[in-house]
Amino acid sequence: MPVDTTDGVGFGVGDETQLILDSLDEFLEQEVEPLLDDLGDVDTNPRTGHHENGRLTDEVLEAREQIRRRSADAGFYAMNLPEAVGGEDVSPVTWYRAKKHLASHGPGLSRYVLAGPEGPKPLLLQAAGDQIERYLEPTVRGEKSTAFAQTEPSVGSDSPNMETVGRKDGDEWVLNGRKQWITNAPYADFVQLFARTTPQEEAGRYGGITCFLVERDEYDLGSYNNAVGAVGTQAEIVLDDVRIPQDRVLGEVDNAFYAAMAFLSLGRLELGAEAVGYSEYALEQAREYVTEREAFGQSIGNFQQVSASLARGKAKTYAADAAGLKLAWKMATDERTVMDASVFKWFATTVMWEVADAVVQVHGANGLAEENPYMDLLHQARMLRIVEGTDEIQLNTIAKELGLTE
């Protein structure tokens, strides 16, 4: 009997979404797994997949690029974007399910099937004129990659206080400053870079910030920021009197911060979806292990401390998934999602951290071995609790939405 969802409650997977999920499984089998077989442990072992400074090896980069382009050809890569720019205009609910589904296959190359930090985001839909053909469309097709350059060495969550500045000089802008922890900076064809173009005392705290499209040969690459869970993917961007023509301003001058914040919920939905998927993957791996591993004459899953640890992880993952679906549904209905996005991002990533730690623990010494993915998951979980807003920022946002703080 069909479920009445007019009251906003419905957890069934629609036929179209299920077809997408099944097609993604086929894509993984036909396109991703052969590349993984060719790479061996190069994709997962930092001793073989990275250079001494952290930079990814050419074979790893080529594999990721192939997946990106093949996924775009198959219609998956940027399917959440409008059809007018090459996407499929799938709903936030379908995008959430797809992101989670891929993550449930575990870490590795599968994360590049759907657009992440290197791919097109709604902010890039502000592209106009030649920007559409030069930047937007190739990025949707997976032919170019980008980066979101906002964080600075001394400015993280307090991004309006950025020190990078843009000064108008005739028909050009002159950029000076430094960005740090910028994902995909070493490999991007261009970056979407934020700079203050009008002082705060004139434009206000959130005004006076402009986004520029800066190409790879126009900025210097500083040191690699080899954070756990993201070795080789982040680096510093250094700008020293970089001249950018007026037609490389993305969107409106002085309005970039407001434009970026309009899409904040999407980023938190995506990261939360990945956290839920990774938690499901880790729990399944642990379930199989504790069922087969014996100690003291029985499987270790029979011991209460082990079974309770995984049961708690399952319950919290279940709740996180429900929160993610509610956020995606509210986004699809154009409801305000500021608090929902913070609740989900904080809860899902915290749950993943607890699950990953528990899964390492039940595997004992095997959980620490580099040939197993469990410590990698723990590293990934730790990173997800910081990017797209730290735990503290999410809790502060929730408190503000409750009217507890200003």
The pLDDT tens digits for 72-96 are: 999 999 999 999 999 999 999 999 9
Same domain, 295 and 376: yes
**CB burial of residue 6 (10 Å; 0-12, 13-18, 19+):** exposed
Same domain, 268 and 397: yes
Q: Strand 148-149 relative to strand 294-295: parallel, antiparallel, unpaired?
A: unpaired
Rounded Cα distance between 70 and 76, Å, is 9
Mean pLDDT of 29-42: 91
The pLDDT tens digits for 122-181 are: 999 999 999 999 999 999 999 999 999 999 998 878 888 999 999 999 999 999 999 999
Mean pLDDT of 10-18: 89
Last residue of a domain, one of 203, 225, 257: 257
Same domain, 288 and 167: no
> Which entry of 152, 236, 280, 388 is annotated as an active-site residue?
388
Q: Is the dihedral of CA 123, 136, 181, 49 positive or negative?
A: positive
Predicted pLDDT of residue 95: 97
Residue 8 has pLDDT above 70, yes or no: no
Rounded Cα distance between 291 and 356, Å, is 18
388 a catalytic residue: yes
Same domain, 269 and 216: no
Same domain, 155 and 235: yes
In a domain, 217, yes or no: yes
Report the CATH number at residue 322: 1.20.140.10
Last residue of a domain, one of 222, 257, 292: 257
The pLDDT tens digits for 297-350 are: 999 999 999 999 999 999 999 999 999 999 999 999 999 999 999 999 999 999
In a domain, 131, yes or no: no
Rg (CA), the chain: 22
Same domain, 245 and 313: no
Rounded Cα distance between 374 and 381, Å, is 11
Task: Find out whether 35 and 108 touch, Cβ atoms under 8 Å.
Answer: no
Mean pLDDT of 180-209: 96
pLDDT band at 406; cut points 50, 70, 90: confident
In a domain, 284, yes or no: yes
pLDDT band at 2; cut points 50, 70, 90: very low
CA dihedral 4, 6, 10, 14 (to 10 degrees): 80
In a domain, 142, yes or no: no
In a domain, 1, yes or no: no
DSSP letters spanning 315-365? HHHHHHHHHHHHHHHHHHTT---HHHHHHHHHHHHHHHHHHHHHHHHHTTH
Same domain, 241 and 270: no
Same domain, 58 and 106: yes
- Hey, what are 2's tokens? 């069909």
Same domain, 198 and 245: yes
What letters, b where the CB count within 10 A reaches 16 and e where it falls short, cover 376-401?
Answer: bbbbbbbbbbbbbbbeebbebbbeee
Domain that holds residue 183: 148-257
The pLDDT tens digits for 203-225 are: 999 999 999 999 999 999 999 98
Count CA atoms within 13 Å of residue 3 on its CB side.
Answer: 9
Rounded Cα distance between 225 and 223, Å, is 6
Residues comprising the chain, all counted: 406
Same domain, 286 and 377: yes
In a domain, 363, yes or no: yes
How many angstroms separate the Cα of 101 from the Cα of each of 163, 189, 317? 39, 28, 14
How many angstroms separate the Cα of 335 from the Cα of each of 8, 94, 99, 339, 340? 12, 17, 21, 11, 10
Question: Does 50 or 84 have the greater pLDDT score?
Answer: 84
In a domain, 343, yes or no: yes
Question: Does 41 or 235 have the greater pLDDT score?
Answer: 235
The pLDDT tens digits for 355-375 are: 999 999 999 999 998 778 899
Task: Find out whether 212 and 235 touch, Cβ atoms under 8 Å.
Answer: no
Predicted pLDDT of residue 214: 98
- Longest Cα–Cα distance in the chain: 80
Number of domains in the chain: 3
Report the CATH number at residue 70: 1.10.540
Mean pLDDT of 112-126: 95
Mean pLDDT of 270-288: 97
Angle at 382 between CA 381 and CA 385, to 5 degrees: 90
Predicted pLDDT of residue 7: 61
Predicted pLDDT of residue 372: 85
Same domain, 251 and 274: no
Predicted pLDDT of residue 12: 87
Rounded Cα distance between 314 and 51, Å, is 38
In a domain, 195, yes or no: yes
Last residue of a domain, one of 257, 291, 322: 257
Same domain, 113 and 81: yes
What does the mean pLDDT of the chain come to?
Answer: 93
